[in-house]
Copies of this chain bind each other. A is one copy, B any other.
Amino acid sequence: MAESWFFLGNFEPNFRPLVVIELAKGTKEETIEWFTKRIVDKKANGGEYSMIFCAQLLVKPLVTENGDENIYLVGASHLRLLLGAETVGLVKECNDNSMRTFTYSSRKTFKYFADDNHNFLTMAECQYIIKHELENLRAKDEKMIPGYPQAKLYPGKSIVRRLLTSGILVQIFPLHDREELKKLRHSWYGRVKVGYQPLDEIRCYFGETIALYFGFLEYFTFALIPMAVIGIPYYVFAWEDYDKYVMFATFNLLWSTVILEVWKRICAIMTYRWGTLLMKRQFEEPRPGFHGVLGINPVTGREEPVYSSIKRQIRIYLVSLPFVCLCLYFSLYVMMIYFDLEQWALDYHEENESNFSSLMLFVPSIIYAVVIEIMNRIYRYAAEFLTSWENHRLESSYQNHLILKVLVFNFLNCFASLFYIAFVLFDMKLLRQSLATLLITSQILNQFAESLLPYWLQKRHKKRIKKRMCSLKADTGLSLVEQVNLEKEMGTYFGTFDDYLELFLQFGYVSLFSCVYPLAAVFAVLNNMTEIYSDALKMCRVYKRPFAEPTANIGVWQLAFETMSVISVVTNCILIGMSPQVNALFPDSKMDLILTVALVEHLLLAIKFIMAFVIPDKPRHIQIKLAKLEFESLEALKQQ
């Protein structure tokens, strides 16, 4: 049967598999035939809203050792990929070094373009194009998926999404390129070296979102180094002069504003080079999990599920919000238990002074750190469930609501105890100790849970599969079948959310109480150095290759980091105002002290906002290039 539709596409002798489609075992023949025909068939021209009913890609079944035919490899001809690049609006560099939206008709003006150069599009771009084409494959006049009457379709519904939600399609993932990956691994973390990460290569292999995360991680680590360097002598010489702490805190606050503003500029430079800064946002389709009654979308005029915005608001404000508040309350309750434990440990230590009892002093903090991690993870699942139940139409709105929920809880969970110690107990020594324990424990836990553990599991699993393979035939490098079988069992990388969250909390530890614990920056730098390596390992070895996702900035995280830096101005000013040394400066009047602190705080906030306003978000040369493009498109419009 396979051959019957195999030749419907433009047969290309050097078929290069790019994307793997795994169907459920025992999927009906007619469904497979219909689906693959749709993927392979030539496009009809035009049509209402130029919907895609056929993708004109290449498909090949993967024959596994036990003869199952449930895995298919998808590829595409070079020409098809170029046309797809135009559809998704890829931006590439031209011969005159400017960046332009790629169109097939103007292909000759692009740098490195040659009709026989199949590397003009990177493999990640090709896979992104194929994913885009597959996801936009729409039902024409089918009422249901052939063979599955319960899987309803309506004109314009994305076929792949319906197949996914009805469980016929297990997964779609892009294939690794063993050669490329080896090269990338080598230059990324293969040898111990001091220097930048190969961000452009990472971008070519994993796409812009992931490259931007690694770029931010690297930038953030470098940006923390000045703080760490200034922080070390405070520890070494045990400086306790508060004028020095004031200096450190002030530097810290202004520095954190500067680094966040400068990041925007660096990000603009990078994404301009990668072309995503110029890429037009495509119209967003409903996210896969979205459901509702069939109606007319007011924007597109197409038939699609519609869900009342009022119902969603009710779910958000009457269920999600109270639930989040309950969780926050529970988190505070756990915190109070921690403080009881802490007190108990102190009493125990005072009763029987021994090495063991002094070790016991650290136990409550460590337990609390572990509990926090566990609570964070449980809450995360609840938040995902709730946000998905809120039934957001767009993936971006889903993400924003999820991030907001998770951020608030994580913030409270991680920092409430520190706020309590600082502003209720007024115990600076305990604050410093808790901060250190929390920071270090959470860093170690994260590194372990995030990459080392999965890596180890993955290695064990790989060995098992390899053993089974070896029993079948001689080991002559990994064949395609073996590679696909290995990769389909690997874990799925769910995006950069957790990685950014980790950095966000770290930024909180470093900046919120910077004036009592300058060493935090040092630990953060050390952690991030290894984080780069463990995250790289995670991407290359542990997880399935993720689809590339073009992006122009780090999105809502920029706002989150900026908010944190505003909060840290307030906390640091209060901490400094509370210190005995500063209090000694105002022996007569507490009032003058507080007024001075409030004045300084307002000044710092004002400076922050003015700095954020004055520093342009994009460097001048990028601004000029963007203006040039805009001018040219205006001129072109006039010429018409």
- Chain A interface (Cβ within 8 Å of chain B)? 46, 49-50, 87, 280, 282-283, 298-300, 570, 590-591, 594-595, 598, 602, 624, 627-628, 630-631, 634-635, 638-639
If A602-B570, A638-B50 touch, whether A631 touches B591 (CB-CB below 8 Å) is no
What residues of B have a CB within 8 angstroms of the CB of A299 in the complex? 624, 627-628, 631
Name 7 interchain pairs, CB-CB below 8 A, sorted by A: A49-B635, A50-B635, A50-B639, A280-B634, A300-B628, A570-B602, A591-B591
Q: B570 touching A283 by the CB < 8 A rule?
A: no
Q: B594 touching A283 by the CB < 8 A rule?
A: no
Q: Which residue of chain B has the shortest Cβ distance to A613 in the bound complex?
A: B559
Main secondary structure of the interface of A (DSSP, over half): helix
Chain B nearest CB from A572 CB (Å) reads: 14
Q: Which residue of chain B has the shortest Cβ distance to A605 in the bound complex?
A: B605
Chain B nearest CB from A408 CB (Å) reads: 12
Q: Which residue of chain B has the shortest Cβ distance to A103 in the bound complex?
A: B640
Q: A638 touching B280 by the CB < 8 A rule?
A: no
Chain B nearest CB from A348 CB (Å) reads: 36
Chain B nearest CB from A563 CB (Å) reads: 9
What residues of B have a CB within 8 angstroms of the CB of A298 in the complex? 624, 628
Complex CA gap A53/B617 in Å reads 38
What residues of B have a CB within 8 angstroms of the CB of A46 in the complex? 639
Chain B nearest CB from A409 CB (Å) reads: 17
Chain B nearest CB from A309 CB (Å) reads: 8
Complex CA gap A280/B87 in Å reads 24
Q: Which residue of chain B has the shortest Cβ distance to A629 in the bound complex?
A: B299
Complex CA gap A627/B627 in Å reads 24
Given contacts A87-B638, A300-B628, 15 further A-B contacts (CB under 8 A): A46-B639, A50-B635, A50-B639, A280-B634, A283-B630, A283-B631, A298-B628, A299-B624, A299-B631, A300-B631, A590-B590, A590-B591, A591-B594, A594-B594, A594-B598
What residues of B have a CB within 8 angstroms of the CB of A624 in the complex? 298-299
Complex CA gap A602/B605 in Å reads 12
Complex CA gap A87/B640 in Å reads 10
Chain B nearest CB from A343 CB (Å) reads: 27
Sort A-B residue pairs by CB-CB distance and give the 9 closest, nearest first: A299-B627, A299-B628, A594-B594, A590-B591, A50-B638, A283-B631, A298-B624, A50-B639, A299-B631
Complex CA gap A627/B590 in Å reads 56
Q: Which residue of chain B has the shortest Cβ distance to A628 in the bound complex?
A: B299
What residues of B have a CB within 8 angstroms of the CB of A602 in the complex? 570
Q: Which residue of chain B has the shortest Cβ distance to A45 in the bound complex?
A: B639
Complex CA gap A27/B626 in Å reads 43
What residues of B have a CB within 8 angstroms of the CB of A49 in the complex? 635
Complex CA gap A594/B602 in Å reads 15
Complex CA gap A299/B625 in Å reads 7
Chain B nearest CB from A13 CB (Å) reads: 31
Chain B nearest CB from A238 CB (Å) reads: 31
Among A280, A282, A283, A299, the most chain B Cβ lie within 10 Å of the Cβ of: A299
Q: A282 touching B50 by the CB < 8 A rule?
A: no
Among A280, A624, A635, A638, the most chain B Cβ lie within 10 Å of the Cβ of: A638
Complex CA gap A591/B49 in Å reads 67
